[in-house]
């Protein structure tokens, strides 16, 4: 039976150093760990990750805003700001190089934005800014993507993750969604301009559907076959809360409708290790049917 590979995001535990996050998860028995944002830069992070990989037999993935830069910024491969655009490409290139050192097979990065905002605004209310032209943003992302695909080569598959458009941010941007790839139609527009595979974040999609006025189950059905890589967590449909899946009936109902053989799933539940284990065991049993 080709069961799914289920990973735990390093963002689920809160430490300043990635080493400590990985140790927490590995000591709790998790061998599949996706390295993601939330930690600070350290000079010897590569050595530490490789050492921990050998000690605990860890299977890594790398996601989006990792490795952390020395000075934080909002990664945006669609940015029209030349300095921010260059820094975004450089961070993703470092992530790709790290993937190769760690033996990762997948690397996913968020779809870009039509605005540039501060890291402190991520996941929160974003202040009103000038919204860039959509085709200009597609062109920037595609140019960056070609650079990154060349760097990745044939050994690493790159993915673009759907963004979340929350109720709070719709209040600021009621007529012009500044987030690329939030639903099926925007994925079609994006994929017609950028040759990329989708990393489907169910929690992001659930919130975006509520905000835009779409049916969550229908959107999942339209998007599911575009990918073999998924992020999962629970929320109230209004904001991306990274809550347990076990209390999210809408999420459980949607997950039950598909075959998960050969898929890659990352749990992004920001809670204690006991709750993480409950979510992992639940999904492993449910998805291995």
pLDDT given for residue 115 in this prediction? 94
- How far is it, in rounded angstroms, from Cα 209 to Cα 205? 6
pLDDT given for residue 135 in this prediction? 97
pLDDT truncated to tens, each residue of the chain (289 aa)?
A: 588 999 999 999 999 999 999 999 999 999 999 999 999 999 999 999 999 999 999 999 999 999 999 999 999 999 999 999 999 999 999 999 999 999 999 999 999 999 998 777 776 778 778 999 999 999 999 999 999 999 999 999 999 999 999 999 999 999 999 999 999 999 999 999 999 999 999 999 999 999 999 999 999 999 999 999 999 999 999 999 999 999 999 999 998 889 999 999 999 999 999 999 999 999 999 998 7
pLDDT given for residue 118 in this prediction? 77
pLDDT given for residue 94 in this prediction? 98
- How far is it, in rounded angstroms, from Cα 213 to Cα 227? 24
124-153 in b/e form (b: 16+ CB < 10 A) is eebeeeeebebeebbebbbebbeebbebbe
- How far is it, in rounded angstroms, from Cα 194 to Cα 287? 31
Q: For the domain 5-287, what is the CATH superfamily, name and number?
A: Divalent-metal-dependent TIM barrel enzymes (3.20.20.150)
- How far is it, in rounded angstroms, from Cα 125 to Cα 233? 20
pLDDT given for residue 217 in this prediction? 96
pLDDT given for residue 3 in this prediction? 87
Show me where the domains of the chain are located. Answer: 5-287
The answer to whether the CB of 231 falls within 8 A of the CB of 283 is no
Q: Which helix (H) or strand (E) holds 142?
A: helix 134-152
pLDDT given for residue 60 in this prediction? 98
Model-level pTM?
0.96
- How far is it, in rounded angstroms, from Cα 26 to Cα 48? 13
The CA-based dihedral angle spanning residues 257, 12, 177, 264, taken in that order and rounded to the nearest 10 degrees: -40
pLDDT given for residue 123 in this prediction? 66
pLDDT given for residue 257 in this prediction? 84
């Amino acid at each position: 039976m080709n069961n799914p590979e289920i990973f735990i995001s390093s963002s689920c535990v809160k430490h300043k150093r990635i080493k400590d996050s990985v140790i927490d998860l590995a000591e709790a028995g998790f061998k599949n760990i996706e390295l993601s944002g939330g930690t600070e830069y350290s000079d010897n992070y590569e050595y530490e990750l490789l050492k921990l990989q050998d000690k605990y037999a860890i299977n890594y993935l790398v996601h989006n805003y990792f490795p952390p830069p020395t000075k934080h910024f909002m990664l945006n491969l669609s940015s029209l700001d030349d300095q921010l655009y260059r820094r975004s490409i450089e961070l993703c290139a470092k992530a790709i190089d790290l993937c190769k050192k760690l033996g990762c097979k997948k690397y996913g990065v968020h779809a870009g934005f039509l605005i540039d905002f501060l890291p402190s605004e991520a996941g929160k209310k974003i202040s009103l800014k000038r919204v860039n032209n959509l085709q200009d943003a597609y062109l920037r992302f595609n140019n960056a993507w070609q650079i990154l695909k060349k760097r990745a080569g044939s050994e690493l598959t790159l993915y673009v993750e759907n963004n979340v458009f929350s109720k709070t941010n719709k209040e600021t941007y009621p007529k012009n969604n500044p987030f690329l790839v939030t639903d099926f139609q925007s994925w079609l527009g994006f994929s017609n301009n950028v040759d990329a595979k989708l990393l489907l974040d169910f929690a992001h999609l659930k919130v975006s559907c509520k905000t835009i006025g779409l049916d969550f189950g229908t959107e999942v059905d339209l998007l599911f076959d575009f990918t073999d890589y998924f992020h999962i967590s629970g929320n109230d449909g209004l904001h991306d809360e990274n809550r347990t899946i076990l209390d999210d009936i809408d999420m459980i109902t949607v997950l039950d409708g598909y075959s998960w053989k050969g898929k890659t799933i990352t749990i992004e539940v920001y809670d204690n290790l006991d709750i993480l284990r409950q979510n992992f065991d639940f999904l492993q049993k449910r998805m291995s049917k």
